Amino acid sequence: MSSQFRTAVALLALCEENQTSIAELTIRAEVEAGNLPREEVMAKMLTYYQGMKASVFRGLEITERSRSGLSGGDSRRMMAHSQSAVVSVLGPVFERSIAYALAVLETNAAFGRIVATPTAGSAGICPACLLTWQEERQADDSQVSEALFTAAGVGKIIGYGACFSGAQGGCQAEIGSACAMAAAAICELDGGTPAQALNAAALALQNTLGLICDPIGGYVEAPCMMRNGLFGIHAFGAAAVSLSGIHSIVPFDEVVGALREVGHKMPRMYKETSEGGLATTPTGLRFKPERPKFATGIELPKKP
């Protein structure tokens, strides 16, 4: 029997029919569709998770400013604060989680190696949430990397129903997707049912709708970095709300539909063109790079 799904309704039906988690169903779908046997699928995701962690640890070491001057050293700053006596009421755990997400984006801005989840600009949220969870629950890498399949399952539904690219759907398509994926993964790791995990995804995604992609200077740094840092907390919140038994009024598939609609109608100036929003504030404009010195006079070959 096929384990393929394109909607949350279909995924939920398959999970209930087979008495499996979203993670397990997504693993089965991957094994069925691809060329890799199960062990290799699992091993590949474990490598990816370890790659994510490496990008966190590398970022925490960064002290120098990035090429654009927009970032650098912030994850260290946040980490130090989380360990200090003046830690906020958020507590050391969540402050550290913010630091982890910032660290991935700092690695990214420094042309370091990261794992796009689902994109590079939103690559901090899943690693930050999962690593924080792993430390708090004292779990091993393989258990946590399995939860990345929960995230992937949710991500696939967004991919079919909407999109992930900021240029096509705005920041909501990147950060919103990452939040939905992380919320579902955390929810399932904490014992949530597939329905609760999808509900967590719905709650996380609906509260990012309308988020525009307005990178200052066209760099994936501001506001991208802080979006990752702060929206990781949002994902934890959505998972907790769902586990409490609160239902999202609008189910996940319909939230994805709303994401697509809002993304479609969002003006081009707010979709990774740096022609609006924070990018064109007086401060934002100061970081605008010169347009490249393109070669001129290149003609496309005539059609044969």
- From the centroid of its chain, how far is CA 18? 28
Residues 155-184 binding another protein (CB under 8 A) are 155-156, 159-160, 163-168, 173, 181
CB of 227 to another protein, least distance (A): 14
DSSP conformational letter for 287: T
User: Number of C-alpha atoms within 13 angstroms, CB side, residue 42?
Assistant: 12
CB of 92 to another protein, least distance (A): 28
| CA distances in angstroms from 175 to 2, 118, 259, listed in the order given | 31, 9, 12
Q: Which of 3, 11, 98, 121 binds another protein (CB under 8 A)?
A: 121
Total chain residues near another protein (CB under 8 A): 72
d(CA 56, CA 60): 6
Amino acid at 162: A
Tokens linked to 157: 């539904």
Residues 37-56 binding another protein (CB under 8 A) are 41, 44-45, 48, 51
* 116 lies in the site for another protein, by CB under 8 A: yes
* 220 lies in the site for another protein, by CB under 8 A: yes
Task: Give the position of tokens 């579902």.
Answer: 184
* 110 lies in the site for another protein, by CB under 8 A: yes
Give whichever of 48 and 81 is closer to another protein, judged by the CB atom.
Answer: 48
CB of 167 to another protein, least distance (A): 4
Q: Which of 68, 193, 210, 254 binds another protein (CB under 8 A)?
A: 68
Residues belonging to the chain = 304
* 191 lies in the site for another protein, by CB under 8 A: no
d(CA 100, CA 57): 8
Residues 242-281 binding another protein (CB under 8 A) are 268, 271-275
